[in-house]
Amino acid sequence: MAEAALPDSSGRVDVSEREPVEEPEPVPDGDVQEPEPIPASCAVRLHMACPSFAGCAVTAVQRWVRQSTEVRVTEVFKHTKWPRVFVTVKGEEDAVRFEKDMQGALWRETAVTMDRDTKTRTEGEGRPPKRRKLADDFEDGCPPSLKDLIIMAKKEGGPQTVVQKTAPLMRWSYDIQLQMKNSYVKTAVRTFTKNVRSRTTNDDLSEPFWTKTEYMKQSKFPFSCGCHMDPPIGTSAENQKGYRNKCEFTISRNRDGAVECGFVLGIQSDGSEIVDSVVDCSIVPGAMKDLCAVMKTLVEASPFALFDRRRGHRTGVWRNVMARLSPTGEMLVLVQVASLSEEEQRQFTKSLVDGLAEHLNIVSIYLQINDTPTDAARPDAPLFHVHGSPALAMPLLGLTFQVGPGSFFQTNSATCVELYSKALEWLRPAGSVVLDVCCGVGTIGLCAAKHCKRVIGLELVPEAVESAIKNAELNGIRNASFYAGRAEDSLPRILQELGDEEVCAVVDPPRAGLHKTVLEALRGFTRLRRLVYVSCNPDSLVEDVVRLCVPRQEQDMDAFVPVRAVAVDMFPHTLHCEMVLLLERAGDVQPQQQGNDASEPVESTVQQDG
């Protein structure tokens, strides 16, 4: 007789067609026994740990483990109170397959970690003292999840070097880093899949087809993922160091009290900042390290003092410097200072321009005035263009973009090509109007312009919109228009003016995600058939996807459906990860279009567009 179906970690009931498995008798709480040793020649035992395992019955965990993998599991051993599980499989080949299947797995929204069970306590050996697990405790072959490291980074105190703060993943090989980030994105997909299912059933509506376990299994999606996941896109080996084309450096003092231009190492109780050199920072390009050295020399020789950030002081001039670097080696520099008199500003500007232009390939210099306690200047802070051209030329996908000091441009130029190529491949813009929401200086939209009917870009920052218009003119693009203002204010009106034209959209919002008004406008504009979401924060993407995909009625063909996702590592050695997600209307997505087959029409369309 077949076993009764039990709910898995998300509360969902799955009727499995696997052969019934004889469950071992539970061990009484007062009589805990260690599993019998199994010869390594015939079996491999693995150790899985998760805080949420504690208090769970062994039968529920056994069911979940066996449904999460195609590998034949010979034993799942656990005590109810344990936050760990011992899993036994037959042989090394099955162990490797099992580890791959369980990579990034979640039990009740908590990450599951796994390693080989290679050591047991001998008789009379006591338990080791408990201590909090730190990042250095993980072996290279069994790294923690990216989410675990993000949590650790917030909790861990004590001194850290600038290298540890700016490149916390440097201790792991790049393949391991990419695996971490792919698992992080996979977790985001699992989370929005589960949340859409939960909210739909809470509204007494039928579960969407793409959130059903049977559909995910038939489509061969990763476990509990409602869409296909492409292999992660990494940064090429030659671009994994010195890849940042924009950096901001603080001008202050180091631990020894000497002048330094670099990254903030810590903030003292009185508000002053301790700054350390960027010489050893792998993510900073050499030209910017040279800039820091020149700035340090200029400040040391300057009659103007450092800005004193201590509470109750707020005196001095030098504050920080921002630099942008093009692939050709040209640099734009913005130096932030406190207020100066007219004569002082004239003297300061001359010595600054002479000192920078003499040593570095700087084509543009700006001076910004900021008298606030924080170095994050107000949007209306006075800004003076004091040398060279007003913008920096940045090449991308055959176009040239003029980027100003306040414009948004992807920080990793090399991997940006891969990111935008993937976004355009999935967008399939031929014959459509392309909406570029949060367009910055117009990069994605202008790259799509030659493939589509026309481009409409929306951006909050007026300077970026001015740059987008100039970039269109610079590249001879006449089918693009750009609008400044909040997308939530302008998007509904623009959508109404589009008439009967076919529309697709790409959104690239800041870390907080899209405003709910923007999401409502995109969701309600039914002529918008495809949406590509480029996210710098997969956590905020989750809630946005739920708003776009939850059905509002039975058989809601206007709800969006996630079709495929991919992790993009724009920031090697750091905890940050980008994600691209393709969504289409439920009425356009048939079950057989998903999975591996979905890549074929996407690729062929882009090839036809050139």
| Dihedral pair phi/psi, residue 251, rounded to 5° | -105, 110
To the question of whether residue 358 is assigned a binding role by annotation, the answer is: no
Q: Strands 392-396, 399-403: parallel, antiparallel or unpaired by DSSP?
A: antiparallel
- Asked if 569 and 177 touch (Cβ cutoff 8 Å), the reply is yes
Distance of alpha carbon 77 from alpha carbon 447, whole angstroms: 55
DSSP letter assigned to residue 500: T
Catalytic site includes residue 536: yes
Distance of alpha carbon 68 from alpha carbon 213, whole angstroms: 11
The candidate with the shortest Cα–Cα distance to 66, out of 18, 7, 5, is: 18
| Three-state SS at 246 | strand
DSSP letter assigned to residue 244: B
The candidate with the shortest Cα–Cα distance to 396, out of 447, 439, 325, 329, is: 447
Q: How far is CA 554 from CA 11, 204, 542, in A?
A: 22, 9, 23
Distance of alpha carbon 426 from alpha carbon 506, whole angstroms: 10
Res 40: pLDDT = 46
Of 247, 504, 536, 549, the catalytic one is 536
Q: Give 426-429 contacts, CB < 8 A, sequence gap 24+.
A: 426/530, 426/532, 426/563, 426/564, 426/580, 426/582, 426/602, 427/504, 427/506, 427/530, 427/532, 428/504, 428/530, 428/602, 428/605, 428/606, 429/504, 429/609
Q: What is the pTM of this model?
A: 0.74
To the question of whether residue 371 is assigned a binding role by annotation, the answer is: no
CA 92-98-100 angle, 5° bins: 110
Distance of alpha carbon 224 from alpha carbon 69, whole angstroms: 11
- Asked if 12 and 22 touch (Cβ cutoff 8 Å), the reply is no
The candidate with the shortest Cα–Cα distance to 506, out of 423, 606, 565, is: 423
To the question of whether residue 600 is assigned a binding role by annotation, the answer is: no
| Domains in the chain with CATH codes | 43-115 (3.30.70.330), 168-240+414-428+445-451+484-551+559-590 (3.40.50), 246-325+331-391 (2.40.50)
The candidate with the shortest Cα–Cα distance to 461, out of 446, 487, 440, is: 440
Place of tokens 């990042």: 135
DSSP letter assigned to residue 233: B
The stretches in the chain having pLDDT less than 50 are: 1-40, 119-125, 127, 130-133, 135, 140, 594-610
Res 24: pLDDT = 40
- Asked if 423 and 532 touch (Cβ cutoff 8 Å), the reply is yes
Radius of gyration of the chain (CA): 28
